[in-house]
Amino acid sequence: MKKKIILFFLILMSIGFTGCWSYKDIDDMRLVGCMAIDYDQQKDEYITTIEIIDPASKKKQQMGGELYVSRGKTPFDGVRDVIMKAGRNLYWGHTKTMIISQEIAKNKIIPIVDLIYRDAEFRSDAHIIVSKEKTAQEILRKSTEQHIQPIRGYHLQDVLESEEHIEKYHGVDLWKYLKKLYADGVSPVLPAIYNREEEGKVYPIISGMAVFKGKKLVGWLDEDEAKAFAWVVDEDDVGASIIVVRGKLKEEPVKISLEVLGNQTKLKPILIANKIVMQINVETGMRLEEIAGTEDFISKKGRSILEKDTEKFIQKEIEELIKRVQKKYHSDIFGFSTSIKKEMPELWRKIKPNWESFFTNMEVDVNVKVTIEGSALQQKPIKISE
């Protein structure tokens, strides 16, 4: 009898736990691929542009994206208004990217971040991008090259995931942005986007970085500065990237393309004459991919010279970037404060109240070690007979 009772309850429990408690029928929802948010200062309203995925059908062989625009007093109010136009609830689990305007980035980013981080359907690895155009909406609305990827949000996500081969920007997941936002003394960065028109067609181009000071947008890094930023913070996108340096064996230097195979950067604060100096040690392995000339940079002597020239190039790029950010933006986007807090906790507590002043005037000691490990398939430079 006891066994029968236990069996009865096991069957009863199994019935109760079958299926998914949070199941939602896809036919009752509209899938969101991307969202752009602007702010109307005169009306004090958020303008929400949402790309809804249009599934493939027998008549339509591939998926596409439809744009819906709404307004609201809060970001959530604007999103809810789209539901009335779309006719169904919105599902955010497939949302890959969110584009915000400069006005949002300067004054209103916290409500946006709070909305997407608080909602359980939003992905914590979704990317935020800052529009360099007048509005964020026009990044989605003006794009004409949909044959590459008809869903604009997914196209932007594909570009962001290819950053290690492009190295002109640095993709930032939502959770990474929040981590920087909450850290003592550190300020976040986000990738920037703009429209480029070529032969009557408009392409959305992700390039450079938006620099924040705390929660406010204060400026921009261009493509070259974005590369230097990746060297300092030792992000994954350094690997597999290409840099072009000028190597000199004779009187005229030649352009040489090098592929980064791997990199390791260490930040170490040191005290010199009672002053904090941030020591930046970069060690990177590279492969020679292209020589725009016939000089022999593959030999032991030529390779050694090229390594020194590359070290000087990277060192100069890093030093110029840090100096510009210190003097123009006063924003610790490199995480210097985190290194000091970790290595010198007592000193950090003393300087924390005046960290901006310390950061702006901090000296840096950049040391770069480059090792060229190979030259692809070509073992000797190309010689042309005269």
Model pLDDT for residues 16-28, shown as the tens digit of each residue: 555 554 445 555 6
Check residue 124 and give its pLDDT. Answer: 77
Check residue 58 and give its pLDDT. Answer: 46
Position of tokens 């964020």? Answer: 136
Burial group, residue 333, by CB count within 10 angstroms (0-12, 13-18, 19+): buried
- As given in the structure block, the two tokens for residue 130 are 């800052």
Please tell me the distance from the alpha carbon of residue 250 to that of residue 164, in angstroms, as a whole number.
Answer: 33
- For 298, the 3-state DSSP assignment is coil
Check residue 384 and give its pLDDT. Answer: 45
Position of tokens 């199941």? Answer: 23
Low-confidence ranges of the chain (pLDDT < 70): 1-28, 56-64, 86-87, 119-120, 144-149, 163-166, 235-240, 251, 293-294, 374-386
Which residues, including other chains, have CB under 8 Å from residue 263's CB and lie 6 or more apart? 231, 234, 238, 239, 282, 283, 284, 285
Cβ 177 vs Cβ 166: under 8 Å: no
Burial group, residue 187, by CB count within 10 angstroms (0-12, 13-18, 19+): buried
Residues 104, 330, 365, CA angle at the centre, nearest 5°? Answer: 135
Check residue 363 and give its pLDDT. Answer: 96
- For 183, the 3-state DSSP assignment is coil
Check residue 198 and give its pLDDT. Answer: 85
- Burial code (b: 16+ CB inside 10 Å, e: under 16) for 16-53 equals eeeeeeeeeeeeebbbbbbbbbbbeeeeebbbbbbbbb
Other CB atoms within a 10 A radius of the CB of residue 257 amount to: 15
Please tell me the distance from the alpha carbon of residue 257 to that of residue 286, in angstroms, as a whole number.
Answer: 10
List 70's β-bridge partners, or say none. 48
Long-range Cβ contacts of 204-207 (<8 Å, 24+ apart): 204/139, 204/143, 204/152, 204/155, 204/156, 206/129, 206/156, 206/159, 206/160, 206/168, 206/169, 207/168, 207/169
This prediction has a pTM of: 0.84
Cβ 266 vs Cβ 334: under 8 Å: no
